[in-house]
Amino acid sequence: MASQDWMTKDFYAVLGVDKNADATAIKKAYRTLAKKYHPDRNPDDAAAAERFKEIGEAYAVLSDSKERQQYDAIRSMAGGGARFTAGGPGGGAGAGGFEDIFSSMFGGQSGSVRFETSGGAGEPDLDDLLRMFGGTPSPTRSGGRPGRFGFGSFGTPQPVKGPDVVTSATLDLRDAVAGTTVELTADGRTMKVRIPAGVHSGKKIRLRGKGRPGMNGGENGDMVVTISVAKHPVYSIDPTEPTNLRMDLPVTLKEAALGATVEVPLLDGSTSKVRIAPGTPSGTVLRLRGKGADTAKKTGDLLVTVQVAVPKRLSKEAKKALEAFDTAMGGLDPRADLMSEARQ
C-alpha cells in the first residue's frame, strides 16, 4: 500500500532499471542485485545488508502491478513530475494548478475539480492524494475532521480503508524453510502470525485486515511483515530461487584430483552421497535434486559448492610430499596463459 516515504525513494534507481521497464526486466535486475548483496555473501557488512533491504523493498513494490501504479502516480505528482499550486488566479505562473492536473486525469474541465489544502496556502493535502490512489491516509485530519474524500459529493460518508501496519520478523533458517508461527507486537497489539514455508530475507507477507480500522465502515488495513532470515553455519537460501538451499562442501586435494564419493549432510538430519569427479576445481556447483526446501508449490534442490580445503599447517613429511608432487607434475604452471588471455 502507498506510503508517504515513496516521495523520497526512487525504487527504479535502486534496481537500476528504467521507469518503463517491464516485469521481466525488473525481476532480472532484482535477482542480480539480491545475489550480489545477499548477507550470506557479505557477512558482517552493514552497508551490504542495508542495500539488500532496499533492493527487497523496491522489488516488493515494483513487482506488484497495483502498488507500482500507485507508486508511479504518487511520484509523478509529488516527487518532481507535476508541480502543485493552489490553482486558479495567482496559483503560480507557468505551472498548472493542482485542480488542473486532476481535472485532466478524470475527464473534467480545467479548474472543475477542487481540493482542500492543509498547511500553507497552495499545498495539497497528502491524505486526499493518497486516497485517490487507494493509499493509507491518516484516520482524521487536523481538528479531528475526516478528510474530504471520506465523503460523497453531498456530504454522505463513504467507506475508507484503514492504514496498513508495517512490522518485521527474524527467523531461523529452519523455520524459514519449514514454516512457523511467530508472535509479533506491532501498533500496540500482540498477535500470532503464521509464516508459510519457503520464505527468504526481504519477503513481505501481507495479512489482510490486520491493520488499523477503516473509516465510515471501511475495511481494516493490512499488516505487512518483512522477513529476515538469520545466518546458518552450513546452509543458506538461494536468493534467486528461495526453494533452493546452498552449502559449501570441503574436500581434500586428493579427493578433488582423483575423484571420490562424499557424504553430504541434509537439512532434515539425513545424509546423501555425491560423486566428485576427478579433476574437480574449487567453486564447482553440484545439484542434489529434491533436497532443498519443501513447500506446498514445489520442492527445491540443494546446491553444493565444492571447496578444496587447503591445510594451514603442514608437517615436514607433508611438505616434502608436495614438493615431490610438484616435481612429478613437471613444473606445470597454472598461470601460463593468464597474461595473454587477460589482454584479449
Residue 234 has a pLDDT of: 96
How far is it, in rounded angstroms, from Cα 109 to Cα 244?
Answer: 55
The answer for residues whose C-beta is within 8 angstroms of residue 190's C-beta and 6 or more apart is: 183, 184
Report the candidate in 210, 208, 171, 218 with the shortest Cα–Cα distance to residue 187: 210
Q: Which tens digits make up the pLDDT trace of 228-270?
A: 999 999 999 998 888 999 999 999 999 999 999 999 999 989 9
**73-87, 139-153, 279-293, range with the lowest pLDDT:** 139-153
| Residue of higher predicted confidence among 280 and 214 | 280
Residue 230 has a pLDDT of: 94
CA atoms within 13 A on the CB side of 343: 3
For residue 140, pLDDT over 90 is answered with: no
Percent pLDDT > 70 in the chain is 75
Q: Which tens digits make up the pLDDT trace of 147-175?
A: 444 444 445 678 888 899 899 999 999 99
Report the candidate in 170, 168, 10 with the shortest Cα–Cα distance to residue 78: 10
Average pLDDT for the chain: 79
What does DSSP assign to residue 5? G
pLDDT grade for 217, boundaries at 50, 70 and 90: confident
How far is it, in rounded angstroms, from Cα 279 to Cα 282?
Answer: 10
Angle subtended at Cα 166 by Cα 161 and Cα 169, rounded to the nearest 5 degrees: 140
Predicted model pTM: 0.50
Q: 37: helix, coil or strand? A: helix
For residue 341, pLDDT over 80 is answered with: yes
Strands 223-229 and 165-171, bridge-based pairing: parallel
How far is it, in rounded angstroms, from Cα 97 to Cα 109?
Answer: 12
Angle subtended at Cα 48 by Cα 42 and Cα 53, rounded to the nearest 5 degrees: 120
